[in-house]
Structure 1
C-alpha cells in the first residue's frame, strides 16, 4: 500500500500541474493512459481533486473549477518519479531471496502490484532487457536470467573502465566548473553522515550513487552516462539487499570516498587513479559477496 500511495502522490502532483480552470477532463481510462498508471489510481486522483474543490465531478462530466495551489500538492519528499517507483519494485523483486534463474516475470502482475500502467512497466522492462538480466517471452512474460557471478564480474569490469576514465576527466575540469562546487557539497554530506553514523549508516547507498553519478558526468560521454544508469541500479540495490556487515562496509566506503574526493580536489592524476582503483576494488568485492550462493550454483548447473 505504501508504494501505491507514493505512486498516487507522484501522479496526482503531475496531473494537477496541467489543470486549467473551465477545462473538461477526459475519462478515467484516458487519464490512466496519459499518466501511465492504473485506472484505480486515476480514479483516486479524481476523487481527491473533487474533494479539494478543484474539479466538479458529475457522473461523466468533470470540469476544472480552479487551478491547484502549492497547498493542494503533496510535498516533494513524499513523491518519486514513476520510473523510480517501477525500478525500485522491479529490482527488489529480482534481488529477493527466492528469485532464481528461470523465474517468470509477468508484466500485468508487476503493473498491478505497483499500481502502474502496463505500458510504463513494459517500457521499463524493454529498456532494462538489453543488459541481459531478463529476456522477453511471448504473452507479456519475461524470464529472469539470473544475477550470476559472471554477470557481476562483467559489470564490475565495465564500471571500472568507465569510472577510471571519468575520474581522470574530472581532475581536468576548469576551476570555475560547477562540478567542483557539487563535489565540495558532497564531501560535506559525507562528513555529516559520519557525525550521526550509528543512526544514519543505512543512508549511505543514496549518497554513494550521487557521488559516482557526479564523477561520471565529467566524462561528457553519452554512452557512459546511459550505461552507468544500469550499473548504479544494480550496485545500489545490492547494497540495500545485502545488509550483512552493512555498518562496517559503509564506514569503510565513506573513508574511501573522502580519500577519493581529496584526490580529485588535488587534480593529481596519479593520486586520482590510485584512489579510484582502491575504491572500485572494494565495490567489486562487495558486489560479489552479495550474490546468493544458491543462485550461483543453479546458474552454473544450467
Structure 2
C-alpha cells in the first residue's frame, strides 16, 4: 500500500522530500524570479488537517490550489489543473470542495489500507502528503506556475518534486519548448551539461561544496518540459533523483538567450523584448 499511496502522491504532483534544504533552496530561487503582475486576478483555496492514527502516528494532509477567475477557456484550465483531472468546477467553491474530497480520500485510504502494520510503529512519527500551486510570474502574457508536492510514509527520508509550467495566455495554451526555440534538443542538452554547475545545490561534504556535476546519475541531461524563463535565461528544473543523487536536491540549470541566439521564435522574442 505504501507504493500505491506514493504513486497517488506523485500523480497529484511529483513525489517530494520536504527536507529543510529543499525548502530553503526553493525560496531562494523564487526570490530571484519575477513576481506576479499586480493586474492579474488570482486567489487560492487550501486545506490543512491532521488526524491521529495511533499513539505514535499522526497523518497530515495539506494542499493549495490557485483560483484564476479571469481565465474562462476550459482547455487552458484543464492544462493548468493537469494534476487534478477530477476537477470540473474551476470556481473557488468548486476547487475548495475538490480539496475537501481529496483530503477525505487520503485519510480514508491511509487508515484502511495500512492498518495491519501500524502497530509496528513504536516511535513518534508524522506521515503527510502536501501539494501546492504557486503563481511565480505573469509577464508579457506568459504565466508561470510552480507545482510542488511532498510526502512521507516512513523510511529514510521524505520525497519531493517540482513541476514548472508556463502558459501562453495570449494564445490560451501551455507553452512548449518548440514555442521558444528551434534549437535541436541534442544541442540544448550539450549546453545543459556545460552549464550544470552554474547554480550549485549548496551540498557540502568534509572538503567543502560538492558540484552538481560530481553527483550526476546520467550521461546526458534531457531538455525536459520542466522549464521556465525570465528576461535573461531559460531555466530547466530537475527534481531529486531525476538527473543526480538525492544529496544534490533539486537542480536548476540556466541557458542564456545568447546561447540560443538565432533559434528563438520571433513572436516569443518580441513579446519578451529579447534583443
Richer in helix (by share): 1
Report the TM-score range of the alignment, normalised by the length of the smaller protein: under 0.3
Richer in strand (by share): 2
TM-score by structure 2 length?
0.26
